[in-house]
Amino acid sequence: MKIPVLVPNIFDHPFTYNSDKKLNTGDYVLVPFGKNKITGVVWDHFEKNSNKEFKIKKIIEKLNIKPLDNKTIKFLNWFSEYNLIPKGMSLKLHLLSNEAIKKQKSIDYDQYNVKNKTLNFELSKEQKLVLNELNKNNKNFRVHLLQGVTGSGKTMVYFESIKEKIDKGYQGLILLPEIGLTSEFEKKFKEYFGFNPALWHSGISKKRKKVIWSGLLNGKIKVVIGARSALFLPFNKLGIIIVDEEHDQSFKQDEGLIYNARDMAISRASFENVPINLVSAVPSIETFENLKKKKYYFSRLFNRYKEASLPSHEIIDLKKYKLKNNSWISSKTIQIAKHHLEKGDQILFFLNRRGFAPYVLCKNCYKVYSCPNCSINLVYHKNKKKLLCHYCGFKSDLKRECKRNISGVCQFIFSGPGVEKIYEEVNLLFPNYKSHIFSSDTMNKKSSLDILNKIRNNEIKILIGTQLISKGFHFPNLNCIFVLDIDLSSQGHDLRGNEKNLQLYHQLSGRAGRTGNPSTVYFQTYNLNKEMISKLTSEDPFIFLEEELNLRKKNNLPPYERFISLILTSTNNLILDQDSDKLKKFLEKKINAKILGPVNAPIYKLKKNYRNRLLIRSNKSVKIQQSLALALKNFNFNSGIKLTVDVDPINFN
């Protein structure tokens, strides 16, 4: 009999095979494909209108694995259609690779065994109330937002909601935005539940991944904590999904297969018919709109746990307290910092720029160091003694022949501050206090747990941090934050600029005063936009979101319209321009939507490729993905042109 088999590769349809034995949808099978044998899954439909004539090959064997359930097959089909990702690639996300995940007999799952919880932890009255609300409607699919001020103990509340599900024999999935957070989170989990969750992210070994994959499928593993890709794991009996920090833009996979893991988690929950809890201090604008439309339930925690109070906010006017030459910390800031340090507080200088200096130029020939592969300046990293491209990883030494200097080499000026420069200044100003840089350059290594401990023990007194530090860390002694350059105007081309600022400064100020001591966040700025700063840091983010949503509505921006970015790339910019124009004209006849562009992308050259963008804007009620996918199948690109489709784009680089 003829059987449709989907294989994990770039094709958007199943292939037809022959089989003597009866097979069912969802069976994992080994099939010949080209010259190889690969694992595929018996799919729920045949390839549509295929006129191709070729010899039908025979299925080699049925694998001895519990079949893929219908709900997951439906989810993967939907995922492909929504994101314009070939079905075979969606299956690859589920299968991890092309080879078979065979049943492993002697796996020891002991560390994942459910034990009774060991921690004696009492929820506050407010937390208990919210927990009841979460558990009220949690039998079937529904979305519930848990919004709470930073430090209000949202995690403990949803841990309880998971526990209830585990007690009934279900499994839970927790999605986190950052791998950097998982080890600290794992510790918290273990303290609470008394057993290990399975951790799932790109840093986990292939061998461990196989253990987790089969452990979840056979129900031995109860809870998995993971980054985006955990969304595609098989479950024996999934009972609940949590998306923590749901607003975080790291949930958007921006390269390769592009999708938003938060949105896809909601759809997986709907196919599984299980509840999903979104958790955040400052929800995304999409989530906020769904609350307003009453599509989501929601609960709020207004108080910090154990009556800790939220930080107050002050502005340091840089017109009044002028910065000295080559200095980035004002005299007023120094005075306040000293006062806090003498009290024993930990302090943080926040600057969202990695490295030492964002521009390096020569004072004789004025040439700026830029990346040969990208249209981006190279950033000087003094610790590594290298110039780096933050986009493609290109490295260069700080040495260059000069055309206008008699001695023959360039003489460099380091323009603008990065955290490493602030670190130097801090060490000159406060030589008696231990300081540390907190950025992806210093916190991705094995030593980071040790550094986190030193910060928690108040051994490190001064932190100099980038955005990374705003992400959910708990530092009990941090009571004072200085934002060195709040710049609210720089994001002109980004429709999400305001929303991103709200989330950043809200999360950042949430790091201060978490154990009850009074705390303050200071903003050093030339631009005395008091109103803007107080809106960004208000205890109630809904006020800001309401305004932002009105603006979006007025301008027909998402979430009121559907945006789809088409990014064309090529090493040949002439062919790229031709194809971009041709594609626009072609699509205008085929789809019912407005098409903007083509324009050169803000980062025009990236990793040696030139980039053009088209933006499709359509009414949300139209099934634009379907007609777009069909149209794109019939468009012939010149060779060397690559197209990337980004549905619901977040970045417009």
Residues in contact with Zn ion by the rule CB under 5 A: 362, 364-365, 371, 373-374, 389, 391-392, 394, 402, 410
Amino acid at residue number 468:
L
- Identify the CA nearest to 160 among candidates 271, 264, 299: 299
Do residues 356 and 382 touch, judged by C-beta distance below 8 A? Answer: yes
The residue (of 374 and 628) whose beta carbon lies closer to Zn ion is 374
Shortest CB 393 distance to Zn ion, Å: 7
The residue (of 28 and 380) whose beta carbon lies closer to Zn ion is 380
- Contacts of residue 433, Cβ cutoff 8 Å, sequence gap at least 6: 341, 461, 462
The residue (of 83 and 370) whose beta carbon lies closer to Zn ion is 370
What's the start-to-end Cα distance of the chain, in Å?
Answer: 50
Q: Which long-range contacts (CB under 8 A, 24 or more apart) does 63-66 make?
A: 63/27, 63/28, 63/29, 63/30, 63/39, 63/100, 63/102, 64/102, 64/103, 65/28, 65/101, 65/102, 65/103, 65/214, 65/217, 66/217, 66/218, 66/234, 66/236
Shortest CB 366 distance to Zn ion, Å: 7
| β-sheet with 395-396: strand ranges across | 379-381, 386-388, 395-396
The residue (of 364 and 529) whose beta carbon lies closer to Zn ion is 364
Q: What is the DSSP string of 490-549?
A: S-TT-TTHHHHHHHHHHHHHTTS-TTSS--EEEEEESS--HHHHHHHH-S-HHHHHHHHH
Do residues 124 and 153 touch, judged by C-beta distance below 8 A? Answer: yes
The residue (of 323 and 392) whose beta carbon lies closer to Zn ion is 392
The residue (of 427 and 573) whose beta carbon lies closer to Zn ion is 573
The residue (of 257 and 392) whose beta carbon lies closer to Zn ion is 392
Q: What is the largest CA-CA distance in the chain?
A: 85
The residue (of 339 and 395) whose beta carbon lies closer to Zn ion is 395
Shortest CB 364 distance to Zn ion, Å: 5
Do residues 87 and 94 touch, judged by C-beta distance below 8 A? Answer: no
Among all chains, which residue has been given the structure tokens 């027909």?
Answer: 556
Shortest CB 251 distance to Zn ion, Å: 25
Shortest CB 50 distance to Zn ion, Å: 42
Q: What residue ranges in 176-230 does DSSP mark as E strands?
A: 198-200, 223-226
Amino acid at residue number 93:
L
Shortest CB 228 distance to Zn ion, Å: 24
- Identify the CA nearest to 244 among candidates 310, 168, 148: 148
CA distance 342 to 334: 12
Q: DSSP secondary-structure letter at 187?
A: H
| Mode of pairing for the β-strands spanning 259-260 and 252-253 | antiparallel
Shortest CB 354 distance to Zn ion, Å: 14
CA distance 576 to 598: 10
* Category of 344 on φ-ψ map: left (φ > 0), alpha (ψ -120 to 50) or beta: left
The residue (of 114 and 392) whose beta carbon lies closer to Zn ion is 392
* Category of 242 on φ-ψ map: left (φ > 0), alpha (ψ -120 to 50) or beta: beta
Shortest CB 609 distance to Zn ion, Å: 11
Shortest CB 465 distance to Zn ion, Å: 25
**Helix, strand, or coil (residue 365):** coil
CA distance 312 to 266: 36
Shortest CB 77 distance to Zn ion, Å: 37
The residue (of 89 and 374) whose beta carbon lies closer to Zn ion is 374
Shortest CB 409 distance to Zn ion, Å: 8
- Identify the CA nearest to 519 among candidates 528, 527, 503, 508: 508
The residue (of 398 and 532) whose beta carbon lies closer to Zn ion is 398
The residue (of 407 and 639) whose beta carbon lies closer to Zn ion is 407
Token representation of residue 48: 């549509």
The residue (of 325 and 407) whose beta carbon lies closer to Zn ion is 407
The residue (of 180 and 418) whose beta carbon lies closer to Zn ion is 418
Shortest CB 492 distance to Zn ion, Å: 23
The residue (of 77 and 375) whose beta carbon lies closer to Zn ion is 375
Shortest CB 606 distance to Zn ion, Å: 7
The residue (of 8 and 355) whose beta carbon lies closer to Zn ion is 355
Shortest CB 601 distance to Zn ion, Å: 14
SS (H, E, C) 304-355: CHHHCCCCEEEEEECCCCCCCCCCCCCHHHHHHHHHHHHHCCEEEEECCCCC
Shortest CB 368 distance to Zn ion, Å: 10
Shortest CB 408 distance to Zn ion, Å: 9
Token representation of residue 18: 């022959």
Token representation of residue 155: 């995690």
Token representation of residue 441: 């350059």
| Mode of pairing for the β-strands spanning 412-415 and 359-362 | antiparallel
Beta-bridge mates of residue 290: none
